[in-house]
Amino acid sequence: MSNITVCSRFRPLSSKEKINHGDNVCVHGIDAETFVFKDEKEEDFSFSFDRVFYEKSEQAEVYEFLALPIVRDAVNAINGTIITYGQTGAGKTYSMEGPSILECDEKKQGLLQRAANGLFECIKSTEGAVKHTIKLSMVEIYMEKVRDLFDLSKDNIQIKESRVQGIFLSGVTEIAISDPAEALQILSSGIANRAVGETQMNMASSRSHCIYIFTVQQELAKEKRVKCGKLVLVDLAGSEKVEKTGAEGRVLEEAKTINRSLSALGNVINALTCGSSGKANHIPYRDSKLTRILQDALGGNSRTALLCCCSPSSSDAPESLSTLRFGTRAQHIKASPRARCKEDYTKNHEASHATKYESRERILNKMRERMKLEDVKLLEELFILEGIFFDANSVEELEQAFEDVTMQTISSLHQAVEDLVCTTEELKRENKALKARLAAAERLNGLQTEAVENGNANVLQKISDLLSQFVSWVRSLSAFKMPK
């Protein structure tokens, strides 16, 4: 068990902050790991992290301390995750990408460019590898949907889990890369598809959480095995206060969704660090797409680093203090990273020679140990009807299929409930309209009776006016189409 690495980074003051608030800053550095933070009430708070990067820190310093050890581990088949966190405009995307993914000098390159270079450099120095492949995927979580930034037609990718792969994105585009330059070109095309928008705090504010996934696989001839590691970099969208960003309309809805997912992330951190020792504690990973994807990174099979990006301006003191407290809680998360290796893959392929019938029987026997007999019989009938058979050497595909069926059933139930709600609302509207027509008819009948009894011309005029209004109302009602 090891704690995740947590660092904080303070960007330089912006020209707007200098004009509005002068050179006043809310952070006073003590050393490379500790500083004093002053909030809006002039109260001092002391914070300590694995490393603190102040205003004049270089991009290379951040990479070498925070990311390089994780890049090396990914090449050695240990999954790694690097997350940038903080309010909007705090420097997260700059730390991740630099000024531009392609057009920037080496000194300003962000974690992405350096990680791509680092992966290939580490592979070159690996002894015994006869073949290697690096594949790149890129998605964003926008309005609680996972979108493939290399294939925009895949706009609702499902998050899956298996014993071997852990958490993975089903059907996500994976592009093989041969060198760092190619990786940057591909990353540039994905970044161009990312959702961004303008707010009063940021001209190009990220409107989504962006996730970059490098999958590294190496075949080791002497040991007859395959090493497989995953490097995940996560550029979180910033938390926002509407009174500061001036968000309206669509941008406001995006901000609400971003804040909800970041709140879910905070709840997961709290559950991981505040639970009673020795007791099983529910971790709400499934409360958002973000926390579900980060499940392995937060207390699972991954070496994780968190970079808390902050503004040094006193005007942003409340938001920066919240970010730092988040980082302090995250320091207590325990992770269990371990290497992922596949044994001699040629032997495994040769061993799968069982007939379909034998495969099915072995799977059903395994299922009978874990499920009710009637459920197993039902699945057996489905297997026969659909012609679905699985590799008996692994239960992974079976569990995945079972999960798919479950998710499809839940989705169908949700759709049925939504349809029922729509039908109910439509009936309510029709009922309301009928009541209104009945009330109008009763009122009209009353006026007619009054006119007959009194012979009052004014009453007749009222009836005429009311009839005109009623006819006009009925025409507008008939033209109105009920939503389906």
**Binding site: what residues are annotated?**
86-93
Dihedral of the alpha carbons of 382, 388, 389, 390, in degrees to the nearest 10:
-100
Retrieve residue 35's tokens: 């500083």
Q: Name residue 46's amino acid.
A: S
Strand partners, 35: 29, 47
- Binding site per annotation, positions for ATP: 86-93
The two three-digit tokens of residue 110, written as one number: 């962000």
d(CA 448, CA 120): 91
